[in-house]
Amino acid sequence: MKTQPKVFSQVWVGCLGLLFAGCALLGNESDFRIARRPNLFPMPDTPEERPTPFRCFEEKNRLFPRNMDVEKLFRHASWLHKKSLMEGREPVLFAQAERFYRIAIAWGHEEAAWAWVLFLMEERPDSSEAAHEALETVAELIRRNSPKGYALMAYMLKKGYGVEKNPEAAQKYFWKAATMGHPAAQHEVSTARSGFFDFAYELSEVERKEMRRCAAAQGHAEAAYGEALRVREEDNKKGEMEWLQQWNSPPPLPSEERIQEMALAKGLQPETGLEAFTPLEKQPAFTCTFEKKRIAAHNLEADMLFQNAAWHHKKNLLRKSKMAFAKVERLYRIAAAWGHDEATWQLAHLLMEGKTTSPDSATHAVDMAEALVARNIPRGYTLMGHLLDKGHGVKKDANASLRYFLKAADLGNPEAQHFLGDKLTALGANASKTGLEMKRCAEKQGHVAFVADTEKKESPPLPSEKRIREMARQKGLDFRTGRPAQENALSQTPGTWEKQLPFACIHEAEYLPKRDAQADKLFEYAQKLHKKTPHEKEKNPEAFAPTERLYRIAAAWGHDEAAHRLAHWLMGNTSNPDSIAEAVDMARELIRRKIPSGYYLMGLMLHDAHGVEEDSQAALQHFRMAADLGNPEAQTLLGEWISHWLLEPSVDLYEMGEEMLRCALEQEYDAVKKANATVSLPPPSEKHIEEMARKKGLNPQTGRRLKKGVK
């Protein structure tokens, strides 16, 4: 045991990655915004019966002999990496470490691959390129049946880095790696809380200790740290100083000439270790492939949405109406949520061109490209190529952009083929021939530029509006805009009323709760009495008392329209301050219940200073909220104000006003049809009215709430 410090110093290099894992993988989970690709690798079989008792198996027994020069590169990279961390992540040191890591990985060094993937997970959590590189590195390790590959895959599944988060699958990968001798996986399994692993993987306490000892014997970082403390306790200064001396001086390196030879032999750039990019004109021969062979058939209704949106999109390219783009965006979003790749493509371009009011458009465009790439849709690679070429939402990288375009062209995407064809034909000689082949291939697939359409023809058919809304809701979208429902909390929309979300016609009935049948009968009869009351007597409390009584009882049973009518009447009773205060309370209660007419009432109160301080801007905000929720009175009020009273409204604002008036008219027409179809009901019995009042604690004679102690 006295020689342990020397063993500890020898294994520290191999354990360095585990120190990084301790920070990157064992802490609190973060919300990574990266390419969440589906699980790409074979799932290890779940053993029906685990080995009992656990037998320690060391990973080194599975490793192949390493090239000495490659081993030197890795050890020096590890030393530089640790030194850069100790000096506050010094970039120059790490750039040197990255170069040596990459060359060592290209020569098959598993420890280098382990340390590099862990670094990417910790230091570049938001980079889709880093996530893809990590996945490719892990895939190669698993292909070689390396325990490190299974352990890394487990960490990625546990965190959801580059793959869909899947703790159950992570357990299987951890177990597979642990039984193959990987110390980090053994530590994960042996220290996992009871019940974390499936029953088949649970260990007894004796087995847990044995697995921890097995990990420690292989130099696991935490075990090594514990050993360092033991060295201090035993005052073994000699062993401790030997360990410190080793890390104060860099490990030896092969000559620079040899390092460059090793990089070139694996097709890497000698200066950086990055993959050397083959110029466009020297790429392998092109073979024409059609994209449609790789794309599943679209949902028919989603395709109808896309075709209609694309038609309106082309019509609006010259007009550039924001209202029209908002309608196009809505249909594209709903179609995209149903897996329509062309809709996703066009929506991403709308976002890139700034033609939507969506926040974080750059982030959303990258998300869409990554989602298509994850499904191996050729357009996804083309879209990512455009993003990298323009530096939109990602770091600008011309070489990476061309790689994506080349991948898309090989998969048959006509846009990528035409894009590269133009570039190649401009180079002349043999490259021009390849470019023409690419362009011909794109033309065979019917590729045409997406340009403005000025022909007068009917728009493609759409599913019914009811069906469109159902499709949106089934995918968790707000049916008004097609955006995720949580993005459209209208009450949180900043700015003035006209700069809120684009207006979409909604009928108020869709937001109203189901009404009590008996309360609805009371309301209809009260409305009948209200209409018979002469206008000059309407403000007379005594003349209006029979109607007020029925409105109050129906409102107490949750009838929103009765509450609305009653509050409106109370607002007009200016002689009684209590009436106005009661009206304000009723409006607030309707707003609490998210009833559209509540916002309209509060808008009137704010505008006319009824029971609240006058605030014209807040009044307009409430009117806009009511209009967005389908209230026809608010839609009419705003529509007429924009169309007839607002001085020099913009084209978009004028179109919004016209749309509001159309929407209100549709609802008034529906209301008239309903009224004409309704048979005139006989008045409710007085006995029944009194019963309904008493059940809600109201005075049966007036409909007002009874005072405490009064029966």
Q: For position 313, what pLDDT does the model report?
A: 87
Strand partners, 126: none
- The answer to whether 178 touches 186, Cβ cutoff 8 Å, is yes
Q: How many CB atoms lie under 10 A from the CB of residue 258?
A: 13
E strand residue ranges, 615-673:
none
Question: Comparing 185-199, 373-387, 437-451, 461-475, which segment has the lowest mean pLDDT?
Answer: 185-199
pLDDT in tens, 384-395: 999 988 888 888
pLDDT in tens, 611-621: 888 888 888 88
CA neighbours closer than 13 Å in the CB half-sphere of residue 323: 15
**Can you identify the CATH homologous superfamily of domain 509-635+674-695?**
Tetratricopeptide repeat domain (1.25.40.10)
129-135: average pLDDT: 81
Residue-range domain boundaries for the chain? 56-248, 509-635+674-695
- The answer to whether 491 touches 625, Cβ cutoff 8 Å, is yes
Where would I find the H helices in 609-700? 616-628, 632-640, 651-677, 686-695
Q: For position 486, what pLDDT does the model report?
A: 58
Question: Comparing 95-104, 287-296, 553-562, 571-580, which segment has the lowest mean pLDDT?
Answer: 571-580
pLDDT in tens, 411-462: 889 998 888 888 888 877 677 788 888 888 988 888 776 656 566 677 788 8
DSSP character at residue 253: -
Q: For position 400, what pLDDT does the model report?
A: 82
pLDDT in tens, 1-47: 333 333 323 333 333 333 333 333 333 333 322 333 333 344 444 44
Percentage of the chain exceeding pLDDT 90: 4
Residues 141, 153: Cα–Cα separation, whole Å:
10
Tell me which H or E stretch contains 105: helix 91-106
Q: For position 36, what pLDDT does the model report?
A: 32
Six-digit token string for 291: 């994209």
Q: How many CB atoms lie under 10 A from the CB of residue 485?
A: 15
Strand partners, 484: 477
Where would I find the H helices in 299-413? 300-319, 322-337, 341-352, 361-374, 378-390, 398-410
Residues 349, 695: Cα–Cα separation, whole Å:
59
Strand partners, 37: 163
Residues 550, 700: Cα–Cα separation, whole Å:
10
Judged against a pLDDT cut of 70, whether residue 226 lies above it is answered with no
Q: For position 39, what pLDDT does the model report?
A: 38
Judged against a pLDDT cut of 70, whether residue 53 lies above it is answered with no
Which of 293-307 are b and which e, b meaning 16 or more Cβ less than 10 Å from the residue's Cβ?
eebeebeebbbbbbb
What percent of the residues of the chain are helix, what percent strand, and what percent coil, each to the nearest 5? 65, 0, 35
Q: For position 231, what pLDDT does the model report?
A: 47
- The answer to whether 557 touches 514, Cβ cutoff 8 Å, is no
Six-digit token string for 97: 């470490």
Judged against a pLDDT cut of 70, whether residue 604 lies above it is answered with yes
Residues 710, 699: Cα–Cα separation, whole Å:
9
- The answer to whether 502 touches 355, Cβ cutoff 8 Å, is no
549-559: average pLDDT: 86
Q: For position 491, what pLDDT does the model report?
A: 37
Q: How far is CA 598 from CA 3, 377, 508, 590, in A?
A: 81, 48, 12, 5
470-497: average pLDDT: 66
pLDDT in tens, 316-372: 877 777 777 888 888 999 999 998 999 999 999 888 888 876 767 777 888 888 888
Question: Comparing 153-157, 304-308, 351-355, 430-434, which segment has the lowest mean pLDDT?
Answer: 430-434
- The answer to whether 640 touches 658, Cβ cutoff 8 Å, is no
pLDDT tier, 297 (very low <50, low <70, confident <90, very high otherwise): confident
Computed over every residue of the chain, the mean pLDDT equals 75
pLDDT in tens, 170-189: 888 888 888 888 888 887 88
Q: For position 421, what pLDDT does the model report?
A: 86
Question: Comparing 221-225, 247-251, 361-365, 564-568, which segment has the lowest mean pLDDT?
Answer: 221-225
pTM of the predicted model as reported, rounded to 2 decimal places? 0.52
Closest of 554, 634, 552, 549 to residue 591, by C-alpha: 634
542-567: average pLDDT: 84
pLDDT tier, 710 (very low <50, low <70, confident <90, very high otherwise): low
Judged against a pLDDT cut of 50, whether residue 493 lies above it is answered with no
Six-digit token string for 681: 């009901």
Judged against a pLDDT cut of 70, whether residue 478 lies above it is answered with yes
Q: How far is CA 590 from CA 46, 168, 579, 620, 631, in A?
A: 56, 46, 17, 18, 13
Judged against a pLDDT cut of 70, whether residue 63 lies above it is answered with no
Q: For position 16, what pLDDT does the model report?
A: 33
pLDDT in tens, 110-122: 888 888 898 888 8
- Give residue 593's Cα distance to chain centre: 29
- The answer to whether 485 touches 523, Cβ cutoff 8 Å, is no
- The answer to whether 564 touches 590, Cβ cutoff 8 Å, is yes
Q: For position 602, what pLDDT does the model report?
A: 92
- The answer to whether 417 touches 409, Cβ cutoff 8 Å, is yes
Residues 348, 362: Cα–Cα separation, whole Å:
9
Question: Comparing 214-228, 390-404, 574-588, 662-676, which segment has the lowest mean pLDDT?
Answer: 214-228
Residues 252, 633: Cα–Cα separation, whole Å:
82
pLDDT tier, 303 (very low <50, low <70, confident <90, very high otherwise): very high
